[in-house]
Chain A
């Protein structure tokens, strides 16, 4: 009986990884921070997601979709990290939010908005972050969340309505 290696395939070289995935790491980090609001946890997520992406890179035939595909893996790892959140809460205590100097009023407003974002479901929060924070077009967002563009748009509108119930969609999308 053949023994299966722990790491099944190493299809691309270090140069390939550096060329293809490394440039996306800052985007992945921003996405993970936006999803988790916890920078150290976000770094962990990016590392794990990068490893997963590197191992599966040979299965991605259309490299034009690389960014959406990779961010999809990051988003999935964020969801997994959220499930282990109680560990983070116990070990990390307060996030690094308070280290940023700002006026008290603005700081409170931003904290409220972050709280509202965290109260959104994972997929709703993901489309909001991808659209507003990473400036991704809806067609790419659809690829990340694994839905149609229409479904992604509907999800975005619904999430905006939850964040700002009184705000018109046209104004919110500016």
Chain B
């Protein structure tokens, strides 16, 4: 069989007879504009055609919204991941270079929590753990328990009359030496900014979250619930693994001081 015959046979398979087409086309072409829409061959054209204009506008609007969302989302993500502008990176490096020296608590021994200080003149909490310039509440408010461990909101009050610049928080369980980790709390001003290299991830509130070995307090951005005139409060999402005992030691490094806080 010649190529011509093959091609004809192949195309004839998909070319069914259309005896009425000539008349339909004449009627279609000679119809008025309004009738012509009705006379189109396939019903799908009747309704899709009337929607083409509006749907094009809708599609264009959706595209604009999508692009805008991507731009805003990208900015938001960048802002969330960028280090706080109020933190001097050189100062932070200097604080990070300080070694962590926390005491060890023998298994079964009592947790040597930091002494309580009366701060009723500087904030809503009457007594907080520590001797300053950074004070902590007890870990009373359990935020979430995950497969990895237990998460709390660490609430620190800072005497800003004596402390300035960034403050670095690092910690561990004093009996097991399991590292305390910090997670970002998105869109929450006043929360400690997680720093250092990502150690692992955990699922917090249904969201896979990166965990860091450090938190940095940006003293220029206190917790939004801080009342005017009070010493500013800074919060951090802090967790420790299941194997830990909950006797947590925190080393707080700031300009001109290193403080150890023990909380449980």
Contact = CB atoms under 8 A, between A and B. Distances in A.
Nearest to B5: A132
Interface stretch (B16-24, B116-124, B202-210): B16-24
Nearest to A39: B16
A24 to B, nearest CB: 10
B45 to A, nearest CB: 7
A47 B25 contact: yes
The winner among B26, B29, B42 for most chain A CB atoms within 10 A is: B29
Nearest to A46: B25
A114 B25 contact: no
A100 B13 contact: yes
A151 interface: no
B60 to A, nearest CB: 18
B110 interface: no
Interface string B1-45: 011101111111111101001101110111001001000111011
Given A47-B41, A163-B3, A114 B10 contact: yes
Nearest to B22: A25
A109 B3 CA distance: 12
Interface string A91-109: 1000111011010001101
A114 B48 CA distance: 29
A89 interface: no
Given A47-B40, A91-B44, A132-B8, A39 B13 contact: no
Could you say which interface size class chain A belongs to? 35 or more
B41 A113 contact: no
B28 A47 contact: yes
Nearest to A28: B25
A44 B45 contact: yes
Given A43-B21, A44-B41, A113-B10, A18 B16 contact: no
29 contacts: A14-B30, A18-B26, A21-B29, A22-B25, A26-B22, A29-B15, A34-B14, A38-B14, A39-B14, A39-B15, A40-B41, A43-B18, A44-B41, A47-B25, A50-B25, A87-B44, A91-B44, A97-B14, A102-B13, A106-B9, A113-B10, A114-B10, A117-B7, A128-B7, A129-B7, A129-B11, A133-B11, A171-B2, A174-B3
Interface of B: 2-4, 6-16, 18, 21-22, 24-26, 28-30, 33, 36, 40-42, 44-45, 48
